[in-house]
Structure 1
Amino acid sequence: MSDSDPFDAVFPGFPAAEPPAAFWRDPASYDAVLRDVLLPPLAAAARRGDVPLALQCAVLQRLHWYFSVDGRERAPTVVVDEAMAAVFHERVRTLMAHIEVDAVASFPVATTEIRHVLLAYRDPSLVCGAAVDAYDHRQGLARVSYWIHGEPPAERLLVDGREVSPAFAKRRACNYFRRRLLRQRIAWVDIAEARSLQLEVDGRLVALALGPQPFSARPAAPAEAGDGSGLPARIRAGFPPGKGGQEPLPAGWRGWKVRLLKALARSAPVRWRYGRSWVFIDREENADDSAEHLYRWVRQQHPEVNAWFMLSPQSADWPRLQAEGFRLMPPGWRRKLLVLNAEHIVSSHAEWVFGGFDRRLFGDAMQWRYTFLQHGVIKDDLSHWLGPREFDCFVSSSPAEHESIVGDDTAYPYTDREVRRTGLPRHDRLLRYADETPSDEANILLVMPTWRGSLVDDRAQACTPQERVTAFAASEYATRWRAVLGSPRLHARAAEAGLKLAFMPHPNAVPYIEAFGLPPDVQLVTAGDTSIQRVFARAAAFMTDYTSVAFTMAFLRRPVFYYQFDQQSYYGGGHNWRPGYFDYERDGFGPVALNEDQLLVQLEAFFDDGCRVAPEFLARMERAMPDRDDESCARVYAAMLSLDQPRAAAAGQGSELAGHKR
């Protein structure tokens, strides 16, 4: 349906097109709109004895926007708190009572998952959509997947007629508006040498489709005799190596450019220089994150690896790394040739999965493994952002973080196949920096608040640069941090303890630095001016609000203070983050203050106690970051090598990595 949907008049104020952001931030959208706009036409038709299919689809069109928007990264629907969620789900359940299952099945607009989410409100108990939707040629693993409405069924996987356990498996929670509405089963099965593959659910063999999970509002179709015979061969042929998604090349010059680039990438001189390369990148504009530190380790420990580091020549880090002898690769056609010959792409950020190429055109040439090193430690629910991405290796650090990603009934689609608890490579050098820093130089109280998504709205209303700074300065965020950074009480007590204040603003806040009114004795620290690693090593204590950099301080066993003056609004739409497994009161590495006076009292107690980490918080640090060593690079390297080993060989490697220092 489109903006001209004839049902727009039936649902005033809620057209079929996606509503604007203001709609999703209005509490009425999750109650009154459903009750007073969508329900009356359905209820009236039901009283007449028949709800037309067109009306059902018009309601589904509008309902699907709720779940589509909630499934996005940093969705505005995070304004929905627990009380609002309870009302919302009851309203949707009432609406769905008037929607036939066949209407959901025939509704073409929503994704397969959202159609299952809508179906869930009719409380079915079934397993459906069984399919093999991926195959890893190097490890010989096929991914079997199906949807579960109700309790998980008894499952048996049969390879060549013999029951086998999955190599890796989980049940992914499909969470929307603070509720798990159904589950997705994910199981990786070794079929490298197999001749047949079958799935049995609750004692019944079910058919396995080949490709994306199909939608069905009925129980999985029974398998016919001999269905599993020859399936592994069809799987191996149906999922060719590469990133998939290849389409016929377009006509004209565009198609010829693709052919020419592929041919040039396969040429002997190019393969001689770039063949089997390992390509590292932090960000285009800066380095000094885990990819830089892992690159350095690989070059030192394994010079036989054809390693390259991607960076913009305009980066402040370019001269430093060039002087150190890094093999730097700027943007341009040579980089394209490098990437098309890559064996591994290794990044501390998630956006380089496809190497900057269109997988529809270059899928067959995209043969690399992608290792996501992470910028930090995950504490919030980032499944809506990371979940759709295809990682071969996903680095984790904390046991609780790892379990929040791979565990049953968590929202990520990843298993222990992809996620390896190795630690962050940048922590190896950080630990050495910390050990090398004399105690009298570890003398700064580092203040490092994170950003707020809502501040973008505030600054966008102003016109000139100075007006933007003035608007920013008037925000609660700037006002609160300005007061702390300028507090005479804090400055006096810190000086008595031999500590200096240093302020590291979020990169988004750097253009507004004058709004913080920094006193002369507060050192301003930015990534472009100094090594962030060395600043962390000099931190005697750390003050933040919500940033995951606190895990780095936990790794170093340095005191942490949380100043959360906007705690209620931060996870209520102020920053579009979704709370995860980490609870600051239960799991945090230091006390939580909700106002300035509380914060200063906590800091004064810390000064009076000799600037030590309290035993309670030290124990939390040790649980969260137990692997306080300089072996993360070695563990990541081993995990990357295991990606190209057959499952039988990689199994021992994976278990060895998973069990380190536990």
Structure 2
Amino acid sequence: MSKGRTKFSVVVPMFRTEKFLGELLQSFDAQRRGDYELEFIFVDDGSDDASADVAQAWLDRSGRAGQVIRQENGGVSRARNRGIAAATGTWITFPDSDDLLSDGYFAEAAAAVHAATSDVVLLSANVWRYEEASGKRADVHPLRLKFRDDVGAVDLAERPSFIQTQAASAFFRLDVIREHDIAFVEGLRVAEDAVFASTYLLSAPTTIVVPLRKSIYYYRRRADATSAADSYKTNPDFYFGRFVRGYLPLLELAKSHGDIPRWLENIILYDLSWYFPREMNKDRKATHLTDAERAKAIELLRAVLRQLKASTIVNYRLTAISPEVRALMLTLGDNPLPEVGTVRLAKNVAGSFEICYLFRDELPTELIESDGSTVTPVTAKTRKLDYFGQELLRERIIRLPELADIRISLDGRYRPLQYGGYYLGSSEATAARVRLSAAAPLKTTALWRQMAIRCAAEVVCYTKAPIPAPTAVSKGAALRRQRYRAFIRNLAKTPRFADKYRDAWLVMDRVASGHDNGEYLYEHLRTERPDINAWFVIQKGTPEWDRLSGLGFRLIPYRSVEHKVALQCAAVVASSQLDVEIVEPTPADFYRHKRRPWRFVYLQHGVLQHNLAHWFNGKDIDLLTTASVDEHASIVEDGGTYRLTADSVVMTGFPRHDAILKAAEGHPYDQRSVVLVAPTWRDSLFLPKASFAARRKLRDPFLETDYGRNWMGLLTHPALKQLADEENAEIVYLPHPNFRGNTPEVTYPDHVTVIDSTPDIHELMARARVTVTDYSSIFFDAALAGSRIVYFQFDQETFLNGSHSYLPGYWDYDVHGFGPISTQLDDAAKLTNEAYTAQGGQWPQLFADRIARTLPLADGKSADRITELIESKFRV
């Protein structure tokens, strides 16, 4: 392009990044020499730290050309615009002040400029992730494929997948920016980079870009999660501004030049591919929005998607978009759903099949046939796809008896069935192809294991996930893994193990502990049903292993060779937990057919109060047991968010409740003296797991958290000390298992007994006169044992709106609760004192009535019911 020296203007916006800026400056110092020159423009956006002073000192020390501009806080876009106004280079770039650049960053860019034609308008650097916590740098960006080869200049009109969404990692021609008066949208705090880059490309004389494979831009992922990308809940632009001031004006600009280009559609879809899945993540879901705000978010999405071509939505593949989200995008854009790929068949529970289909608007007229005869479903429900409360697209779930062949007609049109998940492929499948595919019934039994897609004509798949980041797995390691898998499978075939674990029931609670529904179901099987080949799985070398071994349990060490072999032969795995180490104890490829041979029974840990559809729907649950009327209804109800249907969710009661009732018989209420303080945990207080099955650690010291201050405040409150002194009350603190061993700095008062190991919780509840908790399902068990309940919910507003691993569900503490509620420490202490000292007639009968209605199966026969249910349902 230019045979002279290229001048790059480097604009660095700064806001409270003093502690990171030094690393960026070091990367500037390390730049290789080349046929280019640099000017540095640091724009301090009203920082209250020394960022500007650090930048000025570096300019003075290094002798580099540049300046430091100071302005009142106005946001990154205003800072960048100030930099544009001051720039004198030919090209301009905008690295963030907390990121880093490779040492050849500018040399490679200059070489590309010199080698390119005059038509090139944008240079795109290769973005890698820099993990601040570990110092690791990884080539894992979703758009990394455009750097796979040195492709040279690329025209986006011909290669619309080579999109540019970041301004920080791009170089722009300053003459184009000034000729068309292009600026960052000031005040916009999300998608501002994509909007600027797209506005620039729409205005530029060409759309020719050059990917710079060797110019590496290291994007910092901060250890303290304080990046702008992590502050969505306090950023109104996240749900509204990105559309109102970003994409909608951008689309209008595009239409003023003609048709909306495919590359721009891809940029918007790239953004939305991250936007929609957040609604399925309890940490990211927009629970903090009002109903009106969620409706507004949907309308803005519709305004954008109506302008995108259906073919682009269907064929987009730069990042993974689930078929469900892709179908929702089509629906919000007022497009019909494809007839191919939106009806699926899944073999789920033994003896039955499941047909699911996506539909928009009204429920269609269904006709299901087998061998020419109409089939009546075992059960059916309509599931709400809970994205911002939208009701335009829903899912139908139908359970059928196991049949030889099936076909389905919706509103008089036979629809092609496929195995496994939904599949939205090329939009080029014609109506003729659909009719050909749907003409014959689907032979279900013979093709199940092949997971085949039955289509009469070939349909090209455009829904592939992005290529994963490369992993360094040697051929030797792969061969050793293959041999180990074969060893486990072959061991399972030997008479010794095949006979030992044939049709076994493997029962668990947590990996390293019992005292939950798993243990009490196993105890029932051991004593009452020795004909069932039952085993209990737990980590060896733990106190719980020794305890259960002493009780005569048949134990299998968790994840041992014995465990992996038993999983090859088992008929049932039943557990009170749903974590990945329970439902996926070994990878699927360890099993003979690459799929687990056993059925999973989720016994639950406690009565469900909150909406855990985001958690349950991602797990392969064959049978779920419940104990409460409202809990059960919330899962199986028509129009709810759970995929589970009435034939796989059964109200049986809990085996743990059997044990609680038995223990409570020996402790009349007027002889009880325990005040049990048993709050649940807070997900936000803990760091992620460091490894598989590892314990999570606290982010901050316990007493520096609101949680620690409030619960320690209650335990040390004078009102509880008074109960201990004057009423001989035993104040017992039962920390959640996740806190045990995580609070060594905490000192407890003499009147408080701390249970810092796995206790006989049922004996403890049977002795409890009052139980104080927050949101823990322990209150169901305590109430069943006869304890009075007090709720202390100091963080009610945030907790009940998705800050923990829960989302709001059917349960309303004011309507369904078993006791009074307090949000203030002093009030909680007062209510605890009143609950302990109140005579029988002084405690509201309302709470006793609610308990009786909510838990109707308190008869000591739950383990019997579950055993009989598993036998009949799975024919074991």
Superposition CA RMSD, Å: 3.2
Quick check: 1:183 aligned with 2:324?
no
Q: Give the drift of 1:303.
A: 0.9
Q: Give the drift of 1:636.
A: 0.7
Q: Give the drift of 1:65.
A: 0.5
Counterpart Cα distance in 2 of 1:469 and 1:288: 28
Equivalent position amino acid for 1:265 in 2:
A
Aligned to 2:384: 173
Aligned to 1:67: 276
Q: Return the match for 2:504 from 242, 257, 277.
A: 277
Task: Show CA shifts across 1:482-519 (max 9, x none).
Answer: 22211213432565555322111122333454666532
Q: Give the drift of 1:574.
A: 3.5
After superposing the two structures, state which structure 1 stretch, 219-228 or 294-303, moved more.
Answer: 219-228
Aligned to 1:654: none
Aligned to 1:659: none
Checking the alignment, whether the CA contact within 8 Å between 1:142 and 1:188 is kept in structure 2 is yes
Counterpart Cα distance in 2 of 1:429 and 1:356: 28
Equivalent position amino acid for 2:808 in 1:
P
Change (3 A) 1:613 1:21: farther
Q: Return the match for 1:374 from 597, 601, 604.
A: 604
Change (3 A) 1:91 1:540: same
Aligned to 1:299: 526
Equivalent position amino acid for 1:34 in 2:
F
After superposing the two structures, state which structure 1 stretch, 224-233 or 498-507, moved more.
Answer: 224-233
Change (3 A) 1:198 1:323: same
Equivalent position amino acid for 1:153 in 2:
P
Aligned to 2:345: 133
> Equivalences for 1:608-647 in 2 at 5 Å?
609-610=838-839, 613-645=843-875
Quick check: 1:420 aligned with 2:662?
no
Quick check: 1:575 aligned with 2:804?
yes
Task: Show CA shifts across 1:175-200 (max 9, x none).
Answer: 023444521111121243x4x42212
Checking the alignment, whether the CA contact within 8 Å between 1:344 and 1:369 is kept in structure 2 is yes
Aligned to 2:143: 2
Change (3 A) 1:388 1:574: closer
Task: Show CA shifts across 1:455-499 (max 9, x none).
Answer: 2379x9xxxxxx989843132222222222112134325655553
Q: SS at the partner of 2:618?
A: coil
Q: Give the drift of 1:45.
A: 0.8
Q: SS at the partner of 1:6?
A: coil
Equivalent position amino acid for 2:363 in 1:
P
After superposing the two structures, state which structure 1 stretch, 489-498 or 255-264, moved more.
Answer: 489-498
Counterpart Cα distance in 2 of 1:43 and 1:75: 30
Change (3 A) 1:266 1:110: same
Q: Return the match for 1:147 from 352, 355, 358.
A: 358
Task: Show CA shifts across 1:58-79 (max 9, x none).
Answer: 1011012011232135436544
Equivalent position amino acid for 1:589 in 2:
F
Equivalent position amino acid for 2:164 in 1:
P
Checking the alignment, whether the CA contact within 8 Å between 1:25 and 1:76 is kept in structure 2 is no
Aligned to 1:30: 239
Q: Return the match for 1:393 from 619, 623, 634.
A: 623
Aligned to 1:256: 483
Whichever structure has more helix as a proportion of its residues is 1
Change (3 A) 1:157 1:496: farther
Counterpart Cα distance in 2 of 1:470 and 1:253: 41
Change (3 A) 1:470 1:356: closer
Aligned to 1:544: 773
Counterpart Cα distance in 2 of 1:363 and 1:165: 34
Checking the alignment, whether the CA contact within 8 Å between 1:299 and 1:307 is kept in structure 2 is yes
Counterpart Cα distance in 1 of 2:369 and 2:699: 64
Counterpart Cα distance in 2 of 1:328 and 1:300: 15
Aligned to 1:265: 492
Change (3 A) 1:525 1:481: same
Checking the alignment, whether the CA contact within 8 Å between 2:678 and 2:734 is kept in structure 1 is yes
Task: Show CA shifts across 1:343-385 (max 9, x none).
Answer: 1111111235655222135252732111111111111111111
Quick check: 1:99 aligned with 2:308?
yes
Q: Give the drift of 1:542.
A: 1.1
Aligned to 1:655: none
Query: Identity rate of aligned residues, in percent?
Result: 27
Checking the alignment, whether the CA contact within 8 Å between 1:81 and 1:572 is kept in structure 2 is no
Checking the alignment, whether the CA contact within 8 Å between 2:505 and 2:570 is kept in structure 1 is yes
Aligned to 1:589: 818
Task: Show CA shifts across 1:227-259 (max 9, x none).
Answer: 34462444556469xxxxxxxxx9734323322
> Equivalences for 1:168-567 in 2 at 5 Å?
168-180=379-391, 182-192=393-403, 194=404, 196-215=405-424, 223-224=435-436, 227-229=439-441, 231-236=443-448, 238=450, 252-331=479-558, 332-350=560-578, 351=580, 355-362=584-591, 364=593, 366-439=596-669, 442-456=672-686, 471-493=701-723, 496-511=726-741, 513=743, 517-528=747-758, 530-567=759-796
Checking the alignment, whether the CA contact within 8 Å between 2:164 and 2:267 is kept in structure 1 is no
Q: SS at the partner of 2:270?
A: helix
Q: Give the drift of 1:24.
A: 3.3
Counterpart Cα distance in 2 of 1:228 and 1:631: 48
Checking the alignment, whether the CA contact within 8 Å between 1:285 and 1:314 is kept in structure 2 is no
Change (3 A) 1:20 1:318: farther
Counterpart Cα distance in 1 of 2:528 and 2:814: 42
Q: SS at the partner of 1:552?
A: helix
Change (3 A) 1:346 1:57: same
Give the unaligned 5+ runs of structure 1: 241-249, 461-466, 647-662
Equivalent position amino acid for 1:346 in 2:
A
Counterpart Cα distance in 1 of 2:502 and 2:543: 29
Change (3 A) 1:277 1:617: same
Q: Could you tell me the TM-score, scaled by structure 1's length?
A: 0.86
After superposing the two structures, state which structure 1 stretch, 480-489 or 85-94, moved more.
Answer: 85-94
Aligned to 1:42: 251
Larger Rg: 2
Q: Give the drift of 1:602.
A: 3.2
- Which one has more relative contact order, counting CA pairs under 8 Å at least 6 apart? 1
- May I ask how many residue pairs the two structures share in their alignment? 626
Task: Show CA shifts across 1:400-454 (max 9, x none).
Answer: 1111111111111111222111111111111101112354653211111122233
Counterpart Cα distance in 2 of 1:50 and 1:469: 50
Q: SS at the partner of 1:620?
A: helix
Q: SS at the partner of 2:665?
A: helix
Q: Give the drift of 1:626.
A: 1.1
Change (3 A) 1:361 1:24: farther
Aligned to 1:114: 325
After superposing the two structures, state which structure 1 stretch, 431-440 or 73-82, moved more.
Answer: 73-82
Q: Give the drift of 1:575.
A: 2.5
Equivalent position amino acid for 2:804 in 1:
H
